[in-house]
A = this chain, B = another copy of it.
C-alpha cells in the first residue's frame, strides 16, 4: 500500500475543497457537463493516441500508484551473499534447490540459466534484453499518464473557449456576463486539477517505482553474473553495495 499517494490526494483535494468552501458554495464548482467534456475529451484523445489494449493498462497503472511491492535492495544483497557462499563452497549446482523457492521471475530465470551452465556472456545478453524491454513497457505507463496530463488542460482550455464564444455572442445582459464567464472557467479548473493533482504526479510515482524495480533487476543481473563467473563473495558484496547509499551498506567483514 503506497500511503503517500492516498495522503497526497487527501491533503491536496481537501485543501482545494476548503479553499472553495471558504469563499462560497462548493456547488458552484460542480458542473457535470464540464466534467464530461474535460474527462471524456481527455479519454477520447488518449484513445486516438494509444491502441485499445493500452487503455486497460491505464487502470492497472493507476492501481500500481496505490499498491506497490518493491523488495528492499538490502534483502537482495543478503540473498546473493548466501548464493555466492553456497556456490563457492558446494559448487553452482547447490543453487538448484533454491530456484523453486524464488518468487521473482527475473531472479529465477537468471539462477536457472546459471545452474544450467550457460556461459556468462549469454546469460548477460538474455538478462539485459529483459531489463531493456521491461523498462520500455513500464515507462509506457508513466508516459500514458503524462499524455493525459497534457490533454486534460488542453480540453479544459477548449471548454473555456467554447464558453467564452457563447457568452460573447449574447452579451445583451451585462449582469449575465460574470456568471457565464465563471461557468466557462470551470473547465479550465477541472483540466488543471486533473493534470496537476492526478495525472502528472501519478506519472511521477510510476517513474519512481519503475526506477526502483529496474535498480533491483540491475542488482540481480550483477549478482547473477558474479555467481556465473565464480567471483569471490567479497566482490559480490562490493559490487552490490555500490548500488546502495553508504548508510544502508552493511559491513562485509
Contacts and interface: CB of A to CB of B under 8 A. Distances in A.
A52 to B, nearest CB: 4
A119 to B, nearest CB: 10
B171 A48 contact: no
Interface string A2-35: 1111011111110110111011100011000100
Q: How many monomers of this chain does the complex have?
A: 5
B37 A192 contact: no
B40 A242 contact: no
B170 A24 contact: yes
Contact of A201 (B45, B116, B209): B45
Contact of A4 (B8, B52, B168, B172): B52
Contact of A245 (B137, B163, B177, B200): B137
Given A54-B208, A137-B245, A201 B161 contact: no
A4 B53 CA distance: 9
A48 B205 contact: yes
B8 A47 contact: yes
A127 to B, nearest CB: 8
Contact of A235 (B5, B122, B201): B122
A162 B133 contact: no
Interface in A131-174: 133-134, 136-137, 147, 150-151, 154-155, 157-159, 161-172
A54 to B, nearest CB: 7
Given A16-B162, A161-B192, A162-B19, A238 B44 contact: no
B48 A9 contact: yes
